[in-house]
Amino acid sequence: MLHRALPRRPEARRILLGTLLSAVGRGLTLPFLFIYFTDVRGLTDARAGLVIGWYGAVTLALSPLGGTLIDRFGARRVVLPCLVIEAIGTGSLALVDSTASAFAVMTLVAVGSSAIWSGQTTILASLTDDGERQRVFGLNFALLNLGIGIGGLTSGAIVDTARPATFQLIYVLDAISYLMPALILLSLPAVGHRLAGAGRATGRGSAGGYLAVLRDRPFRRLVIFGLVLTTCGYAQIEVGFTAYAVRVAEVTPRIVAWALAGNTVMIVLAQLVVLRRLEGRSRTGSLAVVGAVFASAWLVLGAAGLVGPGHALLGALGVVACAAIFGFGETMLSPVLPALTNALATDELRGRYNAISSMIFGVSGVIGPVTAGPLIGMADGRVWVVCVVGGCLTASVVALSLRRLLTPLQDGRPAAASRVAEPVPAAA
């Protein structure tokens, strides 16, 4: 299954290797930024939260500019400097000693990260055809989670709040990891240049910029689906899931850590199997199933909240099961959403399409945490459970409504597309 999921072109395989290497570095630091700012550098909780929120706001604001630059100059000319800026910014976190320096460094990190994801997605899309993109994007997601898991386990054995040098070490290692995909991209001089041929051939050029993208009715529907699903799904993991598990289900933070580890294990083990099952199936149908799976995960967590206070073991099992079920849904979403985005995109607008797709997670990442806290405080968290379950099921309905706006090929059903293309015999 791994051999089948690998892209045919060696250049794409090397890009995937860069994803894995940089993900290991990301995993070294991902769980510890808030702890580093507060327990090591002495920032208050409120100031550390503002710094991290500022990073998200700057990244979100700059993402549209990144998509425009990718279409105009090519992903290579955008991703390479962004990787270098990200490396410098991440390494500079080791030198933070005040709120002002934290804001300055996180601004630099945000500038670097604003176009990396959309740029790398555009590069992978240019190196693969529509028949293999779904598998490649899924494998990319699995490698990302594998790398983060390896990095997290490694840093967990290194860091110590009593020794600031241990945190400085992991941020320097994280900075070095960002140079790995940059070096790989430098070794591929023919990769990542401007994609303009298809746009001229079809007459659908870059005129209109983002207005042209937003006039694409199927893509607008896909964006609505993504916003609803991620707001009630991904965006709830950091605040909603953790707060409900600790305050309502009354499990310990260690159980939450085990649950997130179970989520990663599920993704790494199930991704290749899911990719094989998704081949030739409707992408919109798969997205609808994702909404149902996410809703099921939240229902299991809700049940853990009902039994947890009196039955600690059942509550803990429910929290871990929720994260694992959620991870299974991620293995379907991660290959299908970018594959469908790039099936709708033209070459000249591909950077903008991918930029908007990545912004979905940024926007929901602002809405989700802000709304989770008040909702969990209402009726012992039951209102929050109802909202997120209802939101995920609503996203499923939106996904099903998208199917009639797509061609069979865009929907990932090549068999149906070939039947449509067959000439009808003339009547005798």
SS3 track for the chain? CHHHHCCCCHHHHHHHHHHHHHHHHHHHHHHHHHHHHHHHCCCCHHHHHHHHHHHHHHHHHHHHHHHHHHHHHCHHHHHHHHHHHHHHHHHHHHHCCCHHHHHHHHHHHHHHHCCHHHHHHHHHHHCCCHHHHHHHHHHHHHHHHHHHHHHHHHHHCCCCCCCHHHHHHHHHHHHHHHHHHHHHHHCCCCCCCCCCHHHHHHCCCCCCCHHHHHCCHHHHHHHHHHHHHHHHCHHHHHHHHHHHHHHHCCCCHHHHHHHHHHHHHHHHHHHHHHHHHHCCCCHHHHHHHHHHHHHHHHHHHHHHHHHCCCCHHHHHHHHHHHHHHHHHHHHHHHHHHHHHHHHHCCHHHHHHHHHHHHHHHHHHHHHHHHHHHHHHCCHHHHHHHHHHHHHHHHHHHHHHHHHHHCCCCCCCCHHHHHHHHCCCCCCC
pLDDT at 426: 46
pLDDT at 13 exceeding the cut of 80 = yes
Q: Domain locations in the chain? A: 1-185, 211-406
> pLDDT tens across 283-334, in order?
999 999 999 999 999 999 999 988 866 788 899 999 999 999 999 999 999 9
Domain 1-185 has CATH 1.10.600.10: no
Instruction: Read off the pLDDT of each residue in 220-232 and give the average, rounded to a whole number.
Output: 96
pLDDT of 204 strictly over 70 = no
Which of 8-17, 47-56, 219-228 shows the lowest mean pLDDT across its residues? Answer: 47-56
- The pLDDT of residue 200 is 45
Pick the CATH number of 211-406 from 3.30.420.40, 3.10.20.30, 1.20.1250.20, 3.40.718.10: 1.20.1250.20
d(CA 92, CA 80): 19
Q: Is the pLDDT of residue 381 over 50?
A: yes
* Single pTM value for the model: 0.85
Query: For position 39, what pLDDT does the model report?
Result: 85
For residues 395-400, give the mean pLDDT.
97
Cα–Cα distances (Å) from 12 to 5, 9, 234, in that order, read: 12, 6, 27
Residue 199 has pLDDT above 70, yes or no: no
Q: What is the pLDDT of residues 119-167, one digit of tens each?
A: 999 999 999 988 888 999 999 999 998 998 888 888 878 888 788 999 9
Tell me, yes or no, if the two domains 1-185 and 211-406 fold the same way: yes
pLDDT tens-digit readout, 415-425: 665 565 554 44
**Tokens 């990301």 map to which residue?**
26
At residue 415, the pLDDT reads: 66
Cβ atoms of 174 and 28 closer than 8 Å? yes
Confidence of residue 208 (pLDDT cuts 50, 70, 90): low
